[in-house]
Amino acid sequence: MGIRPVIYFLENNLIEKILSEARDLLCKLGITLHNREVLELLSGYGATIDQDKYHVLFTNDIIDKALGSTPASFKLYDVLGNETHDFSGTNSYFTPGSAAINILDNRTNEIRKPNTADYIHFSKLMSGLKYIASTSTAFIPADVPGKISDSYRLYLSLLYCEKPVVTGAFTIEGFEIMKDLQLAIRGTKEALVAKPLTIFSCCPTSPLKFSDVTSQNVVDCARFGIPVEFISMPLSGFMAPVTLVGSLIQHTAETISGIVISQLTNPGTPVLYGGSPAIFDMRYETTPMGAIETMMIDCAYNEIGKFLNIPTQAYISLSDAKSLDAQAGLESSMGATLAVLSGINNISGPGMLDFESCQSLQKLVLDNEICGMTLRMARGIEPKEDFPSIPLFQELLKEKHLLISKHTRKYIREEHYFPGRIINRANLSRWKEEGELSLTARANQEIERLLKEYQPSRLPEDSIKELTRRMEDEARLHGMDKLPG
Amino acid sequence: MNILQQISDQIDLGDDEKVYELTTTAIEQKIPVKQILDEGLLQGMNIVGRKFKEHEIFLPEVLMAAKAMNAGMELVKPLLLSGNVPMKARVVIGTVRGDLHDIGKNLVGVMLKGAGFEIIDLGNDVTPERFIETAKAEGAQFIGMSALLTTTMPVMKEVVDRIRSENLEDKIRTLIGGAAVSKGYAEEIGATAYCYDGSNAIDYLNSVI
């Protein structure tokens, strides 16, 4: 085995200092938590609660108890029950950026509200993208009532793509149907606990606040053993200290708060130590996900998660560009490279533009290649029948090339990553002869190819019927008699 | 399975020993040699060529297939010659005078051979006289010239000019390739075609023979 390359931003003594400060924040300043049930829960474990102000002061005992029961790893399974993810060590997996309100229309290059047809295209495309291991509820179809927009995305994802889904509920009520859709596939709660199918993103509100919805979603997921990724979003210089260390302290406190809620509800519930922090750009009043400091915070909190022996997640490998341009490529590949080199377990971002608000199928197919390249890099450099080397060089000198050498044929596909046609490696003449296709044109060709080659999900007919029945019932409750499409 | 289909399949798999055995059997079964060539050997290489273009397979598999094809060709070629069945075409190739860079030319040679063309490889540092005299002596229909250096490119023009001055344009066509040259340069010097890589050369030759 070769070395799995890993980079570090923090020394252990700095991690310990950050953790110590975060504990102090939680125990001395506390957090605001707008959920009576969770406040009761915490009170039962000795936290100091101010019910009127929805305020809680943690204790180190509560924090230790929660961290002590958090699993060091967990697995995910696709709709058919096959294992797809092992969130442990430095195993890295990609998932598309989630919950965009817009899409970049690949036919018109216009940024607009997405609909069901777009979502189906996305899900079909995701089926064929080899290096993005899970799908996500990547954007919000605007042609269904807002109250079912969270569950409807999950429904379409489960129907058109076999991969596990990174998702999340927008409301407390939304969880119920989203859990039911998973039960339609797994059959029983026990089966779902044994083979998790989704990860729910649960987002604390910076600074140091948990909304009623987020708190309840964390509790509900814990009760059903559904893995949760905590998405703390400190904004350096605005809703968090401007320094990266200061932002990390806040991120740590917010994430540990979520872990406490989850683990006290159901010890052993799988969680990802995640986030979507960003620096705040004081010129544009925006939160650049493509900023190098944003990525540094991501990689650093991942180290804190690993220090706590908890698998990690980050919103990294995405871009703030508005189209498939050079900025989109550079920000996404820089993020993906750093994420994989840091060993972040669940890397969210592919396809995403414009500060996590616009999904692009064009970018998704490009990002799939970025993911493939970085995952190749993660396999590192390892000797493969390279010692002693003289026989191979004798063959080279004799034959004048090694194109058909056994050694070449045995290792070519393992050693070299071959990107799809979106990455142009033709010589100039061939590129010209093939139509001088731009990156966007090649991306569109790749989209068309993947849609054409799409194979319907192998989910059993009974599960599809049950899934659809539950979704239709839910839609009717919200005034929609027939689902779109 | 039809033996010609088996030959084609084994070429696709790059198994030279099996292709040799199957071709021997096909000859013993008195299958017309032209049919063995077209429906077995070349058919296999056509499939390989398509797969290569679609990026389903890469160069090593193409060259293994070419090796397998040549194993069959060894048996078929004497029969083709004795039966006056024409080969696809004969091509003289080489790197031009003053240029020792022959990696690209070698690759093109191997690929053309695999595609059923008869290749006479003159190596590198080849003079215009040698290109033309060999083509005339061997009855080759094509001369393929390679150059990596801008300083050696003009040798290609010398070859083209000589062919023209000897009124051989209808008999010998010139193909150029290599990092230094381009389609524009081929037009400028009056070469018949510019081929940017091995498969492009195969496509070109197949389109004109």
Cβ-based contacts of A412 with chain B (< 8 Å): 58, 60
Best CA proximity match to A290, nearest among A254, A322, A242, A312: A322
Tell me which residues of chain A have a C-beta less than 8 Å from any C-beta of chain B. 400-401, 403-404, 408-409, 412, 418, 420-421, 427, 429-430, 433
Question: Which pLDDT value is given to residue B158?
Answer: 97
Q: Hey, of A369, A395, A403, A427, which one would you mutate to test binding to chain B, going by the most B CBs within 10 A of its CB?
A: A403
Domain residue extents for chain B: 3-82, 90-208
Low-confidence ranges of chain A (pLDDT < 70): 1
- With an 8 Å Cβ cutoff, are B67 and A404 in contact? yes
Q: How far is A91 from chain B (nearest CA, A)?
A: 28
Question: Residue A21 CA to chain centroid, in angstroms?
Answer: 27
The answer to whether A263 and A65 have CB atoms below 8 angstroms apart is yes
Q: Hey, of B59, B95, B207, which one would you mutate to test binding to chain A, going by the most A CBs within 10 A of its CB?
A: B59
Query: Tokens standing for A95?
Result: 């998932």
Instruction: Identify the CATH number of the domain in which residue A67 sits.
Output: 3.20.20.480
Question: Residue A404 CA to chain centroid, in angstroms?
Answer: 41
CATH entry 3.40.50.280 includes domain B90-208: yes
- With an 8 Å Cβ cutoff, are B60 and A404 in contact? yes
CA–CA separation, A227 vs A21, rounded Å? 27
Cβ-Cβ contacts under 8 Å for B129 (sequence gap 6 or more): B162
* A406 assigned to some structural domain: no
* A45 assigned to some structural domain: yes
CA–CA separation, A325 vs A315, rounded Å? 20
By the CB < 8 Å criterion, does B181 face chain A? no
Cβ-based contacts of B103 with chain A (< 8 Å): 401
Query: Tokens standing for A322?
Result: 């508005």
- With an 8 Å Cβ cutoff, are B60 and A400 in contact? no
Question: Which pLDDT value is given to residue A400?
Answer: 82
Burial of A104: CB neighbours in 10 Å, binned 0-12, 13-18, 19+: buried
Cβ-based contacts of B105 with chain A (< 8 Å): none
Q: For each successive 10 residues of chain B (209 residues), what is the average pLDDT?
A: 94 96 97 93 92 92 92 91 82 95 88 90 96 97 94 96 96 94 95 94 93
Cβ-based contacts of A409 with chain B (< 8 Å): 60-61, 64
Q: How far is B5 from chain A (nearest CA, A)?
A: 24
Per the structure, the count of domains in chain A is 1
Cβ-based contacts of B113 with chain A (< 8 Å): none
By the CB < 8 Å criterion, does B202 face chain A? no
By the CB < 8 Å criterion, does B184 face chain A? no
CATH topology assigned to domain B3-82: 1.10.1240
* A400 assigned to some structural domain: no
CA–CA separation, B112 vs B98, rounded Å? 24
Cβ-Cβ contacts under 8 Å for B172 (sequence gap 6 or more): B132, B135, B136, B140, B141, B142, B143, B163
Question: Which pLDDT value is given to residue B87?
Answer: 76
Domain that holds residue A131: 1-382+419-485
Phi, psi of B44 (to 5 degrees): -60, -45
CA–CA separation, A293 vs A304, rounded Å? 16
* A206 assigned to some structural domain: yes
